[in-house]
A and B are shown apart, each in its own frame.
Chain A
Amino acid sequence: MARLGSYLHRHPRLRLAGLLSAPLLWLVVAYLGALAVLLVSAFWTVNGFTGEVVRQFSLGNFRTILTEEVYRNVALRSLGVAAAVTVICVVVAVPMAFFMAKVAAARSRHWLVIAILTPLWASYLVKAYAWRILLANNGPMDTLFGGPGYGLPATILVLAYMWLPYMILPVYAGLERLPDSLLEASADLGARAGRTFRSVILPILIPSVFAGSIFTFSLSLGDYITVQIVGGKTQLIGNLVYANIGAANNLPFAAAIATVPVLIMVIYLLAVRRSGALEEL
């Protein structure tokens, strides 16, 4: 054992290889491997009768997705849902996180964090079905607000509920790093609340919000369960993927559809990279 230790000590490259081989193997095989299979299988087709994958290169799947109007509509609808969910989460999360980080007493802070986390302890399905009952005809939401019933608005509402903690936590973490003394200094220098917000809080807030939005945006983009439960007859990208795998056993076509959210997320990440949001993750 000691000999091995001294041998490794004399060979730093070997030491590094030993340290990194397991995570690299995981990254390349499990992580990039799965992505590569996804990309490659998107170009395959399926034998309609035996259900076996035909491994021949074909652009047919992508041609269908680009030419059929329904796929464009569903992609745009999913994009709209993801954006709306993100906006709602930001509007609710920012004041909440600000209160937690700056106003609430230090000892109640961790209780607030726990309170924010509690919904995550319950099963996703239970929460979605609970919302289905809340939104039913003559249910609580219907009696109080006269709607929205099942459909696209209900989907946005429930998804915003589901992903809210993922927005509050990064924003809270960002604001917590902002020293109180900076706010005081800003006030001492004569800045009003608005100026302090713009010059001191906002530069911290924006990257945190973008960090949170990556969660809310990508989770909404991939979701298919909530919309199946409260979405009425609405379908999003996730439903199309599910229908093609679950019902038709057409993995290649599902893979081709799945490249759409991947593409949207890559574009989104490139766009928010400049804000420094990726450092906040």
Chain B
Amino acid sequence: MRSGRILLAALAAGVLTLAGCGGDGGGDSAGGGPGGLTVPKIDKLAALGAGEGEVNVVSWAGYVEDGSTDKSVDWVTGFEKETGCQVNNKIAGTSDEMVALMKTGEYDVVSASGDASLRLIYGGDVAPVNTDLLSNYKDVFEGLKNKAWNSVDGVPYGAPHGRGANLLMYRTDTVTPAPTSWSAVFDPASPHKGKITAYDSPIYIADAALYLMKTKPELNIKNPYALDDTQFQAAVDLLKQQNELIGEYWSDYTKEVQAFKAGNSVLGTTWQVITNLTKADGAPVEAILPTEGATGWSDTWMVSAKAKHPNCAYLWMNHIISPKANAGVAEWFGEAPSNKLSCAETKDPNHCATFHAEDEAYFEQVWYWTTPLAQCIDGRKDVTCKDYSAWTQAWTTIKG
């Protein structure tokens, strides 16, 4: 028993020491963001100089391919030869990981999604981008420039990369008539109870909010990522009710492809690339953009505020949104390219049509993923909104 007491004492000592160190750092917790706070003042690069010989990149898997995954997929080697900038790529698994990596200051550019980009901007981790130095920027679709997630007060913070919508997929042999609305996945009397699927992430609450935005105007939801207490509760209640219908939630795409092939799932949210893969495997599925619109994602290449290789970083950003490289990424990853001229460069001539790259009307119905913050991002000042950690905890209660 004596050894037990020593162990306990050691543990207690450790805890006390750590608690002692833990005192500092609490003071700078007053965070900020849209609706009050200002962006850290960081100068953009004024003129392009000579390359520094290398560039450190943080990216999503599949965005920076140098032929090592698949010999025919390579848009890095040519760039390295042309500019002399050696590309060192670090793949991040989640948006949170991307933010953490960029905070180290060791990386020059990052392919941030909309749920990370504002955090990087307000955290002072990325610098405004001088778009005059990017010769390909003029060919980027207007619908992607100066948006809420990649610019602040009209100042652009990056080069738009690609985008996609979260669609509604269904099996054509079992789901008849074909659905046109998200009500198909929320209807408590659905004949497909137990075979409906939904994206397994707190951000899916926005899908319910989007549906309520159109079907319950009295809730007055203006933006599915800015929900006050009442609006949030309504979305959570809707999802709790939907939980009865769900067979399983999906988070990785292989899981969903297999579930739709086997028929364990017949109806639910999807990405275009998943639909293509499921179809390629011979399953009778279709995907639509429902009448209410949809949530979606859009990525942006951003340059670090502490970039050690800013010139190579600009050269890289310009290269990755160039028609050829952009087409390569869009096809390899399965998304709509951001450059207008990319559509002529894709191996599959229908790629842009399949992913609605040129269809601005289509993307006007898409609400891109954005981090929910306590400061409402729809501009309301009189209420506080639910932040992402509240969304996560609610997601736990929804799944039960």
Q: Which of A50, A56, A133 contacts B119 (CB 8 A)?
A: A50
Tell me if A64 and B255 are in contact (CB < 8 A): no
In the complex with contacts A40-B22, A229-B255, A233-B246, A240-B396 CB distance below 8 A: yes
In the complex with contacts A247-B94, A248-B392, A57-B29 CB distance below 8 A: no
Residue ID in chain B nearest A231 by CB atoms: B248
- Name the interface size band of chain A: 35 or more
CB distance from B162 to the nearest CB of A (A): 22
In the complex with contacts A37-B18, A55-B25, A232-B258 CB distance below 8 A: no
Tell me if A28 and B10 are in contact (CB < 8 A): yes
How far is A104 from B295 in the complex, measured between Cα atoms in Å? 62
In the complex with contacts A32-B14, A57-B19, A235-B399 CB distance below 8 A: yes
Tell me if A233 and B248 are in contact (CB < 8 A): yes
Tell me if A36 and B399 are in contact (CB < 8 A): no
Tell me if B243 and A233 are in contact (CB < 8 A): yes
Tell me if A243 and B18 are in contact (CB < 8 A): no
Tell me if B19 and A40 are in contact (CB < 8 A): yes
Q: Which residues of A contact B22 (CB under 8 A)?
A: 40, 44, 55
B241 part of interface (Cβ distance < 8 Å): no
Q: How does the 8 Å CB contact mask read for B153-171 relative to A, with 1 for contact and 0 for none? A: 0000000000000000000
Tell me if A51 and B397 are in contact (CB < 8 A): no
Residue ID in chain A nearest B15 by CB atoms: A36
A188 part of interface (Cβ distance < 8 Å): no
Tell me if A249 and B258 are in contact (CB < 8 A): no
Q: Which residues of A contact B246 (CB under 8 A)?
A: 233
B146 part of interface (Cβ distance < 8 Å): no
Q: Which of B18, B23, B94 contacts A246 (CB 8 A)?
A: B94
- Name the interface size band of chain B: 35 or more
How far is A240 from B201 in the complex, measured between Cα atoms in Å? 12
A68 part of interface (Cβ distance < 8 Å): yes
Q: Which residues of B contact A137 (CB under 8 A)?
A: 262-264
Q: Which residues of B contact A118 (CB under 8 A)?
A: none
Residue ID in chain B nearest A138 by CB atoms: B262
How far is A28 from B19 in the complex, measured between Cα atoms in Å? 17
Tell me if B373 and A48 are in contact (CB < 8 A): yes
How far is A44 from B22 in the complex, measured between Cα atoms in Å? 9
Q: How does the 8 Å CB contact mask read for A148-186 relative to B, with 1 for contact and 0 for none? A: 011000000000000000000000000000000000000
How far is A229 from B248 in the complex, measured between Cα atoms in Å? 9
The 9 closest A-B pairs by CB, nearest first: A48-B387, A248-B392, A49-B31, A136-B262, A55-B22, A36-B14, A249-B96, A232-B248, A54-B29
Q: Which residues of B does A touch, CB under 8 Å?
A: 10-11, 14-15, 18-19, 22-26, 29, 31-33, 94, 96, 99-100, 119, 122-123, 201-202, 243, 246-249, 251, 254-255, 258-259, 262-264, 373-375, 387-393, 395-397, 399-400
A-B contacts besides A243-B396, A246-B96, 15 pairs, CB < 8 Å: A28-B10, A40-B19, A47-B31, A50-B31, A50-B119, A50-B123, A52-B25, A55-B23, A70-B396, A129-B254, A136-B262, A150-B247, A235-B399, A243-B392, A247-B395
